[in-house]
Amino acid sequence: MNFDFSWMAWTWPTAAFFGVIALLLVGMGAWEYASPGGNPRVGLLRFETTRGDRLFLSLLGSAFIHLAWLGLVGSNLWWALALSVVYAIGVFRYV
């Protein structure tokens, strides 16, 4: 199967990025369907957050981590990805 994303000027990493975001949203939707309510709790930020809020904070923080990495270190983003995963785990655990 050969997909050609050139009509959108996409590269495979760009398509994979949006594919992962779509899978995260589908996964969160299935999790909400299976266990409604979002498990709201008050964490480090001292206001109530749900699973969806924590996912949004994880994605937003990961975007800033990647942008800072690009600006300060360079274009090898594997370490930024690892740092983003650790950040997301921290957000889901403590926020």
DSSP per-residue letters across 46-60: SSEE-HHHHHHHHHH
pLDDT of residue 1: 65
Count of the separate structural domains present in the chain: 2
Question: Could you give the CA distance from residue 87 to residue 62 in angstroms, rounded to a whole number?
Answer: 7
Do 42 and 68 fall within a single domain? Answer: yes
pLDDT at res. 4: 72
Residues 63 and 92 in one domain: yes
Same domain, 70 and 91: yes
CA atoms of 81 and 61, how far apart (whole Å): 11
Q: Do 49 and 64 lie in a common domain?
A: yes
pLDDT value at residue 75: 87
Q: What is the pLDDT of residue 66?
A: 93
Same domain, 26 and 50: no
Q: Does one domain contain both 50 and 64?
A: yes
Spans of the chain below 70 pLDDT: 1, 5
pLDDT of amino acid 9: 74
Q: Does the reported pTM lie above 0.95?
A: no
- Give CA angle at 35 (60, 57), nearest 5°: 10
